Structure 1
């Protein structure tokens, strides 16, 4: 049994392997491995699950990955084995930060003293805020307050006065974008260039004990990527039903406002963002990414992609 944890449905591609009709498209599932897919509130929770032996693989983001490696959070260690998506690409979606339509917060300089909605500190989401606040000369610890709650509750949190702004991943950004909320900034405004944001990681113990199963899963993972992007209307309907989402929202995300996807691991680009997080004080110390990432599992299958 392989156990995979994710945070945001649909945009975390591995989440789609939980949908029965998509499982029917997988060649190796049921013969080479079985799969259990679970949702966490944040990527640090997913890392804790790997550390506790409750998950074999997970979707994690920049800050949580960096802290887990630098802090040796997972007994036996963990390794990035694929990239899920990049952030801040000029031609693709980047995290969008919104306030209410009538809010006095209309630009990043207005964030001083604000309550910022975040699913959890210690995540790549949190790092986007910190990067922008630092660029503005604000103290990301003392000049704002972070309020942790689920992405799906951010609009309600604004209406209730709990948060002043929220940072929205692609799936959850559809509603505020279409409902006239004020975009305060996006991650393209904070970062000079695109960077790999979300990674599929595996505990090293799982790579040792379940290597053949993970290899078979990776073949299916790449296959389902190809299926998703060549059958978006059908997949939108399946995902909306499975995750109890609006079908139009899912389809708009997949077809118009998706992140930049490049599934192999660019270790040089990963190294740059880890070094930047170190400079921002978000991880204890940078490290040699080449020692904690590999393309050996995904590279043999990338040529099957036709997207």
Structure 2
């Protein structure tokens, strides 16, 4: 009886040892699996609105497709495009204006995903100024981040819709803290974004009128762009990336509170969880459009981006006719 019991115990120990070894080998095999690195050149530092791109430690959106995201910060959409043209990155997180400028210079690029189909730019003024429509901007001083920023470009788009040009207003470079000059009366209005307005409201800005550029020309705020070379040579990687990004966006839309909490760790502007949540909710809204509802997240609209290109030429921002149907590809968002 003792012998039988000893044999049984020994057998159990052997099974446990084999199971432990097998588990260890499986963990080593998983750990040893190489992920394909996809380099994303952003227009900015890692910020809360991009949390879905920054949480690889906690979430497996990209790992599940065999990808590892390498986030490359920048200082504007032009930076992001320079990084893909130089080969430092695979994909540019950029804006249509920067795309138009690069295409105007003869660069061969492809648009593969519509990150924010909603235009998030605006022009804000104090109610006492009584600026309620684009026509009211005539003769006014208007602040912009810089003369090369999206705030100026979108301001010009808005003016164009009212039959006005840059000559009809006085544009003032105010820097990123552009709401201070508005509150101090140094400008009559300021061109900004929805997230900038949230930050200003948290700091005491109230009683304002807001002209939303999307009400006049709703070109996307941000898009994913690649070079023709990358598009031709890395289609499988791009397909996996788009699928992963769609999944990560769905998560941020359905779990904004979790995303806001994780942004505290990953975003340079993410110290305040409540603030993060407001920003993330705005970007979730900007990620959705009629086209994304009918097709899928990231769905591109050729006619809208063409309208933007035509407007940029009319405004003198570019001098070439751009044919966006030759630039936009929908291989990955169908």
Q: Aligning the two structures, in what range does the TM-score lie when normalised by the shorter sequence?
A: 0.7 to 0.9
Question: Aligned to 1:224, what secondary structure does the other structure show?
Answer: helix
Contact 1:170 1:259 in 2 (8 A): no
- In the TM superposition, 1:122-133 aligns within 5 A as 123=150, 125-133=151-159
| Separation (CA, whole Å) in 1 of partners of 2:175 and 2:205 | 22
| Separation (CA, whole Å) in 1 of partners of 2:58 and 2:110 | 26
Question: Aligned to 1:237, what secondary structure does the other structure show?
Answer: helix
| Separation (CA, whole Å) in 1 of partners of 2:174 and 2:86 | 23
The verdict on how the C-alpha distance between 1:238 and 1:106 changes in structure 2, with shifts beyond 3 A counting, is: same
Q: Which residue of 2 aligns with 1:185?
A: 210
Q: Which residue of 2 aligns with 1:251?
A: 277
The verdict on how the C-alpha distance between 1:137 and 1:272 changes in structure 2, with shifts beyond 3 A counting, is: closer
Alpha-carbon distance, 1:47 to partner: 1.5
Contact 1:121 1:148 in 2 (8 A): no
Is 1:283 paired with 2:318? yes
Alpha-carbon distance, 1:132 to partner: 2.6
Contact 1:60 1:200 in 2 (8 A): yes
Structure of higher CA gyration radius: 2
The verdict on how the C-alpha distance between 1:110 and 1:195 changes in structure 2, with shifts beyond 3 A counting, is: closer
Q: Which residue of 1 aligns with 2:18?
A: none
Of the structure 1 ranges 35-44 and 78-87, higher mean CA displacement relative to structure 2 is found in: 35-44
Q: Which residue of 1 aligns with 2:302?
A: 267
Could you state the TM-score of these two structures normalised by the residue count of structure 1?
A: 0.77
The verdict on how the C-alpha distance between 1:104 and 1:52 changes in structure 2, with shifts beyond 3 A counting, is: same
Q: Which runs of 5+ in 2 are unaligned?
A: 1-36, 293-297
Of the structure 1 ranges 126-135 and 17-26, higher mean CA displacement relative to structure 2 is found in: 17-26
Contact 2:43 2:78 in 1 (8 A): no
Q: Which residue of 1 aligns with 2:244?
A: 220
Question: Aligned to 2:156, what secondary structure does the other structure show?
Answer: helix
Q: Which residue of 2 aligns with 1:34?
A: 68
Give the alignment partner of residue 45 of structure 1, picking from 59, 64, 79.
79
Matched pairs, number: 282
- In the TM superposition, 1:59-138 aligns within 5 A as 59-72=93-106, 74=107, 77-88=108-119, 94-99=120-125, 106=131, 109-110=136-137, 112=139, 114-119=141-146, 121=148, 123=150, 125-138=151-164
Question: Aligned to 2:67, what secondary structure does the other structure show?
Answer: coil
Contact 1:171 1:250 in 2 (8 A): no
Contact 2:78 2:98 in 1 (8 A): yes
Q: Which residue of 2 aligns with 1:58?
A: 92
Alpha-carbon distance, 1:138 to partner: 4.2
| TM-superposition CA deviations, 1:39-70 (whole Å, max 9, x none) | 22211121122222222211222221112112
Contact 1:265 1:295 in 2 (8 A): yes
Q: Which residue of 2 aligns with 1:303?
A: none
Q: Which residue of 2 aligns with 1:168?
A: 192
